[in-house]
């Protein structure tokens, strides 16, 4: 696996992943733990953001401060990516949010798009794509291609659980994209579900399993 994959290894992330994997975790708890786990990842994902200096006046004197150099655009892939937005907005309240609606056709496993809405100036922004699951990689690759067509140059992908097949596809098709995950799982099953995985994240967040 290439240099552009970072598996964020942290005891609190491992603990929270275990709650998310557990089939007995109800939607209410699943949502709050997904948010907490995303917060733990967000600190690492934002570690290399560039800053510029600016003066700040403390109550005592003027000193050097810092501000973020680039604008940030968060892009959740609907639906499951929505469960990761609030955690990022808490540490990046100035970020703007674009949305990509994609679902995976259950037969072909290919992504089908149904919604796009983005802020301007993607070319001058750091774009952070959010989706808890990276299975075949079809959805995230389609999202990255779409964003590049609209000018995005600096793109990060944040996912919780990935399958090797999806990581290979993403690193081959978009070697310039930095990928952050919490765990690399074993494999996909015939239906394209990640094993051991956590099931369908969208369904578990929104309670639409049945
Ligand atoms: C899931 C998941 C990803 C995609 C991953 O969404 O949230 O977007 O599948 O699969 P891939 O890597 O093989 O493309 P799903 O299609 O179930 O849509 P949903 O979020 O609306 O439930």
Concerning whether 203 is annotated as a catalytic residue, the answer is: yes
Provide the 8-state DSSP code for 18.
H
Mean pLDDT (whole number) for 130-154: 96
Q: What is the pLDDT of residue 42?
A: 97
Q: Which residues are annotated as a binding site for uracil?
A: 194, 199-201
Mean pLDDT (whole number) for 82-109: 95
The mean pLDDT of the chain is: 96
Strands 5-7 and 178-181: parallel
Determine which one of 16, 38, 104, 204 is catalytic: 104
Task: Give domain 5-49+69-125+135-193's CATH number out of 3.30.200.20, 3.40.50.2020, 1.20.1640.10, 3.10.20.30.
Answer: 3.40.50.2020
In the chain, domain spans: 5-49+69-125+135-193
Best of 20, 109, 129, 135 for a ligand 1 pocket test (most atoms within 8 Å of beta carbon): 135
Task: Give 26-37 pLDDT, tens digit per residue.
Answer: 999 999 999 999
Phi, psi of 22 (to 5 degrees): -65, 120
> Over the range 57-72, which residues count as b (16 or more CB within 10 Å of their CB) and which as e?
eeeeeeeeeeeeeebb
Q: What is the pLDDT of residue 80?
A: 97
Query: Which residues share a beta bridge with 103?
Result: 112
State the sign of the Cα–Cα–Cα–Cα dihedral 78, 80, 82, 85. negative
Strands 71-78 and 99-104: parallel
pLDDT at 74 over 80: yes
Q: Is 145 helix (H, G, I), strand (E, B) or coil?
A: helix
H/E stretch holding 71 reads: strand 71-78
Task: Give 152-177 pLDDT, tens digit per residue.
Answer: 999 999 999 999 999 999 999 999 99
- Taking the C-alpha atoms of residue 101 and residue 200, their distance in angstroms, rounded to an integer, is 16
Cα-to-centroid distance, 199 and ligand 1 (Å) = 11
Q: How confident is the model at residue 109 (pLDDT cuts 50, 70, 90)?
A: confident
Q: What is the pLDDT of residue 104?
A: 85
Q: What is the pLDDT of residue 2?
A: 59
Cα-to-centroid distance, 203 and ligand 1 (Å) = 10
Burial label, 144 (beta-carbon count in 10 A; 0-12, 13-18, 19+): buried
Among candidate residues 209, 168, 205, 203, the one with its CA nearest the CA of residue 188 = 168
Other Cβ atoms closer than 10 A to 179: 24
pLDDT at 1 over 70: no
Using CA atoms, how far residue 165 sits from 36, 42, 186, in Å, is 27, 24, 10
| DSSP secondary structure letters along 104-146 | E-TTT--EEEEEEE--S-GGGEEEEEE-SEESSSHHHHHHHHH
- Taking the C-alpha atoms of residue 132 and residue 184, their distance in angstroms, rounded to an integer, is 12
pLDDT at 14 over 70: yes
């Amino acid at each position: 696996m290439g240099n552009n994959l970072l598996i964020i290894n942290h005891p609190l992330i491992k603990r929270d992943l275990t709650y998310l994997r557990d089939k007995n975790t109800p939607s209410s708890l699943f949502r709050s733990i997904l948010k907490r786990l995303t917060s733990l990842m967000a600190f690492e994902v934002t570690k290399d953001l560039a800053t510029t200096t600016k003066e700040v006046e403390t109550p005592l004197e003027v000193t050097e401060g810092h501000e973020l150099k680039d604008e940030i655009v968060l892009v959740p892939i609907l639906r499951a990516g929505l469960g990761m937005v609030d955690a990022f907005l808490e540490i990046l309240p100035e970020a703007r949010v674009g949305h990509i609606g994609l679902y995976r056709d259950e037969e072909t496993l290919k992504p089908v798009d149904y919604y796009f809405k983005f802020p301007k100036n993607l070319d001058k922004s750091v774009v952070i794509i959010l989706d808890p699951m990276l299975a075949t990689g079809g959805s995230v690759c389609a999202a990255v291609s779409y964003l590049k067509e609209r000018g995005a140059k600096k793109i990060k992908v944040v996912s919780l659980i990935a399958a090797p097949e999806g990581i290979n596809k993403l690193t081959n098709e978009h070697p310039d994209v930095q990928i952050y995950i919490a765990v690399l799982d074993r494999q996909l099953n015939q239906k394209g579900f990640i094993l051991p995985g956590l099931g369908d994240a969208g369904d578990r967040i929104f309670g639409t399993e049945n």
